[in-house]
Amino acid sequence: MSLRIATFNVENLMTRFDFTGFRNQLRQDRVIKLFDVRSEGVYQQLEQARVIASTDDTRQMTALAIADADADILCLQEIDNMEALQAFEYNYLFRMVGNGYRQKYLVEGNDSRGIDVAVLMREETRDGQKIELKEVRSHAMTTYRNLDLFDDDLAQTNHIDDKIFKRDCLELDLLIGGVPMTLYVVHFKSMGGQREGQDGRTYTMPVRRAEAKAVRRIIEDKFGAEPASARRFVICGDMNDYQERVDVIGRRRTGYTFQHQDESASALDELSRDGFAENVVRRREPLDRWTLYHARGPEEQWLCQLDYIWLSPALAKTNAGRLPEIVRHGQPYRTVFPPGQEVERYPRTGWDRPKASDHCPVVMTLDLI
């Protein structure tokens, strides 16, 4: 009996316009920055026109990437609300995959912009096994105090009664053809830019480390520290951190070379420590594990994995030798591909946009027994 599961950060699936860019330049779109807009009313009109004009191409590509993942269970990040999810599923996904994702789950989380994690599920797997939800729980309200995770590093930017998850950790107890499996869907704290003399990744790492510790604690409290390794659990989502990366060296005109390197520290070390869970993407070749291309000029560009499927030891053992897939057809043309990895982009893909997302869907077919 098999199950196909995927994770994908679809980036800002919204049903509302964000007008805060008129007063906050960091939130203003690059197109509008080209114009001298002095009236907030005019700004709002321009922003509405810009978003509506670009959204259809973007969401067609997002749906194409999801269709190519062809998952029975789909874990999504950056969803505005259930209305946005329903509208996207009916108006875009339905045209790509037909009558598929009838089961939808989303709980409002903590993100300041209102973007949440969500789960779409078919009623049956591709081989006809029923997919049933037994219980869904949000951990959005869990605080550092609740799990005794507050430390000196966190005290620099947080308080002991702050919520741990900056979005949520959504927990679903499932039966797949009668076989139990627990799914955790997360979207960890973003890195941001340089602050207080530190790069964004280092500055925000204590928060992501606490989020990773919290996921592990939730699982160990549920199953027991030792018994957890024998249970079927999967952790999916955008974790905004990496344990390795591929440096992209060079320029368009002169060509590129690619250099793999391990990171000395990562928030995700909390999940891999002692074999608690396996990041199955690391079963792929070192240059072929990336899900996002990062670039800030030719001196700062690399490929890294931000999007994860972590398997419990029991599931990892059952699926030894299986490889996850990474769907990269929705990447913009600016993304630099190592030799031999190039793909045909979706129609109307742009240099930077439109695109399916900066992130790639990660998908894996799992044997459950």
Angle made by CA atoms 62, 64, 70, in degrees to the nearest 5: 110
pLDDT in tens, 128-151: 999 999 999 999 999 999 999 999
CA terminus-to-terminus distance, the chain: 7
Q: What is the pLDDT of residues 234-285, one digit of tens each?
A: 999 999 999 999 999 999 999 999 999 999 999 999 999 999 999 999 999 9
d(CA 101, CA 157): 40
Provide the pLDDT for residue 196. Answer: 78
d(C-alpha 109, C-alpha 187), whole Å: 10
| CA distances, 246 to each of 102, 200, 214, 338 (Å) | 38, 18, 28, 10
Closest CA to 311 of 284, 336, 276, 277: 277
| CA–centroid distance for 102 within its chain | 21
Please tell me the distance from the alpha carbon of residue 349 to that of residue 356, in angstroms, as a whole number.
Answer: 8
pLDDT tens, 17-58? Answer: 999 999 998 889 999 999 999 999 999 999 999 999 999 999
d(Cα 273, Cα 351) in Å, to the nearest integer? 39
Is the pLDDT assigned to residue 158 strictly greater than 90?
Answer: yes
How are strands ordered across the β-sheet holding 325-326?
A: 103-106, 116-121, 73-79, 2-13, 362-367, 325-326
Percent of the chain with pLDDT over 70: 100
* Token duo for residue 274: 């002692």
286 is written with which tokens? 């070192």
What per-residue string of b and e applies to 323-344 under the rule 16 or more CB within 10 Å gives b?
ebbbbbbbbbeebbbbeeeeee
Mean pLDDT of 298-319: 96
Instruction: Give 164-199 pLDDT, tens digit per residue.
Output: 999 999 999 999 999 999 999 999 999 988 887 898
pLDDT given at position 294: 96
Q: From 296, 319, 300, select the one nearest 366 (Cα to Cα).
A: 319
Residue 99, pLDDT > 80, answer no
Between the alpha carbon of residue 8 and those of residues 13, 24, 49, 317, 357, the distances in Å are 12, 28, 27, 24, 9
pLDDT of residue 297: 82
Question: In angstroms, rounded to a whole number, what is the distance separating the alpha carbons of residues 164 and 132?
Answer: 29
Structure tokens belonging to residue 283? 């079963």
The strand pair at 179-187 and 233-238 is best described as: parallel
Integer angstrom CA distances of residue 185 from 33, 118, 301, 309: 35, 8, 28, 10
pTM over 0.95: yes
